[in-house]
C-alpha cells in the first residue's frame, strides 16, 4: 500500500512540495506566519539537493500506491559534534492527510536502520518546543529529552528540544 525507498534526484520536486506543504500545516501558529508564507519549493529543493550531494547523508521517501511521494525523512551524522550522540534524524515530514497512519514510525525505523548500517550507535533529533505532536511522537518511540537549544529563522528565535537514544540497535 505504501512504499519506502531511498530517494533519487528525480524526487527533489516532490520532496520540496511535501516539505513546504508540511511546514504550512505543521508549524502554523508555532512559527512566524510570514516566514511560512514565504517558503518556496525552489528553496526547499536546493536544500535537499545539498543533502543528496553529501555522501554521509541520506533521504528516504514514502510513496502512496500510485507512486506519489507523500512524505520523506533524512538523516546522517550528528551536526554539532555532540559527545554522546553520533547520528541524527534531520527531518521527518508527511503531508497532513497521511499523518497518524504509522508512516512516521516506519520512516523513523528506516533512518535508524540506515544509521546503524552506516556504523552509528546513537541518535538525536531536534524538535521545536511548541510542536507538541512531534514531541509526543518521539517520546512514544522512547526518546528522552537531553538538551534545549534555540533555532533562529529570519531573525525570530524558537526554543527547541533535543530527544536522544543512546543505543539505536534496540530500535531496529
Q: What is the pLDDT of residues 103-156, one digit of tens each?
A: 999 999 999 999 999 999 999 999 999 999 999 999 999 999 999 999 999 899
% the chain with pLDDT above 70: 100
CB-count exposure of residue 144 (10 Å: 0-12, 13-18, 19+)? exposed
147/149 Cα distance (integer angstroms): 7
Q: Is the pLDDT of residue 91 over 90?
A: yes
- The pLDDT confidence band at residue 170, using thresholds 50, 70 and 90, is confident
Q: Is the pLDDT of residue 52 over 90?
A: no
- The pLDDT confidence band at residue 89, using thresholds 50, 70 and 90, is very high
58/149 Cα distance (integer angstroms): 24
Show the cell assigned to 151: 533555532
Q: Kindly state the DSSP code that residue 101 receives in the 8-state scheme.
A: S
| Structural domains of the chain in order of their starting residue, each with its CATH number | 3-122 (3.40.630.30)
Grid cell 511535501 in the structure block, residue: 18
β-bridge pairing 156-165 and 123-128: antiparallel
pTM: 0.94
CB-count exposure of residue 156 (10 Å: 0-12, 13-18, 19+)? exposed
81/97 Cα distance (integer angstroms): 36
Amino acid at each position: 500500500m505504501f512504499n519506502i525507498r531511498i530517494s533519487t534526484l528525480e524526487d527533489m520536486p516532490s520532496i520540496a512540495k511535501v516539505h513546504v506543504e508540511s511546514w504550512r500545516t505543521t508549524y502554523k501558529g508555532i512559527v512566524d506566519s510570514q516566514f511560512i508564507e514565504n517558503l518556496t519549493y525552489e528553496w526547499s529543493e536546493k536544500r535537499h539537493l545539498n543533502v543528496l550531494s553529501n555522501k554521509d547523508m541520506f533521504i528516504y521517501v514514502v510513496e502512496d500506491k500510485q507512486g506519489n511521494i507523500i512524505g520523506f525523512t533524512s538523516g546522517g551524522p550528528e551536526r554539532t559534534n555532540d559527545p554522546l550522540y553520533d547520528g541524527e534524524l534531520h527531518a521527518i515530514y508527511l503531508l497532513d492527510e497521511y499523518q497518524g497512519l504509522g508512516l512516521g514510525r516506519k520512516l523513523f525505523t528506516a533512518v535508524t536502520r540506515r544509521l546503524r548500517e552506516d556504523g552509528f550507535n546513537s541518535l538525536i533529533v531536534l524538535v521545536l518546543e511548541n510542536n507538541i505532536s512531534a514531541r509526543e511522537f518521539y517520546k512514544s518511540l522512547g526518546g528522552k529529552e537531553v538538551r534545549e537549544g534555540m533555532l533562529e529563522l529570519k531573525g525570530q528565535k524558537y526554543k527547541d528540544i533535543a530527544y536522544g537514544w543512546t543505543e539505536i540497535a534496540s530500535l531496529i
